[in-house]
């Protein structure tokens, strides 16, 4: 389908379409499901309007964020937003900032941005941590080959 039939549908949405009976045209009848409601972007206020430019090409325009003075966020910070209302041809979208990742370009911020963007885990489950602690408690350096350890 081509615009304008898809004007408010995004690549990652599941859509329902219907075929026009008198023509070969296909119309978008409903957006069924959105794959995600959270996005990573850069906080770029314009005047007193707080905006976030979402990374990539998902949204052409910056998304307004509802809080007029988001806490602990500065211009050019990487943030995670949650969409309250997706943009369409009739209205701007609206989002809220749910996490401030840090200054664009600072160490670790780009990695954290990718982790949040793709919903990757950033911590081990508690049972894995407990198993690692037990292994560490059982570790005996004298059982290493040669019975010696080298420490600087």
pLDDT on residue 39: 94
Report the chain's mean pLDDT, rounded to a whole number.
80
Task: Judge whether residue 128 has pLDDT over 90.
Answer: yes
β-bridge pairing 51-54 and 94-103: unpaired
80 close to 116: Cβ distance less than 8 angstroms: yes
Q: Tell me what percent of the residues of the chain surpass a pLDDT of 90.
A: 47
What residues form DSSP beta bridges with 77?
A: 103
Name the pLDDT band for 146 (thresholds 50, 70, 90).
low
The CATH 2.40.50.700 domain(s) of the chain lie at 36-127
pLDDT tens per residue, range 83-126: 999 988 888 899 999 999 999 889 999 999 999 998 899 899 99
Residues 64-82 have pLDDT tens digits of 998 756 678 999 999 999 9
Higher local confidence (pLDDT), 143 or 134: 134
Is 0.85 topped by the overall pTM?
no
Tell me the sheet residues that pair with 54: 41
- The predicted pLDDT at position 7 comes to 45
Q: Which candidate, 137, 20, 40, places its Cα nearest to that of 81?
A: 40
Q: For domain 36-127, give its CATH number from 3.40.50.2300, 3.40.50.1110, 3.10.290.10, 2.40.50.700.
A: 2.40.50.700
């Amino acid at each position: 389908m081509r615009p304008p039939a898809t004007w408010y549908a995004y690549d990652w949405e599941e859509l329902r379409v219907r075929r026009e009976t008198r023509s070969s045209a296909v119309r978008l009848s409903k957006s069924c499901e959105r794959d995600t409601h959270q996005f990573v972007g850069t906080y770029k206020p314009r005047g007193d309007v707080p905006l976030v430019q979402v990374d990539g090409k998902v949204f052409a325009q910056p998304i307004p964020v509802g809080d007029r003075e988001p806490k602990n966020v500065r211009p050019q910070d990487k943030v995670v937003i949650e969409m309250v209302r997706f943009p369409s041809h009739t209205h701007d979208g609206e989002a809220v900032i749910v996490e401030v990742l840090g200054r664009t370009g600072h160490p670790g911020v780009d990695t954290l941005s990718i982790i949040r963007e793709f919903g990757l885990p950033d911590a081990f489950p508690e049972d894995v941590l407990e198993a690692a602690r037990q292994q560490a408690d059982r570790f005996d350096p004298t059982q290493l080959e040669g019975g010696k350890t080298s420490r600087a």
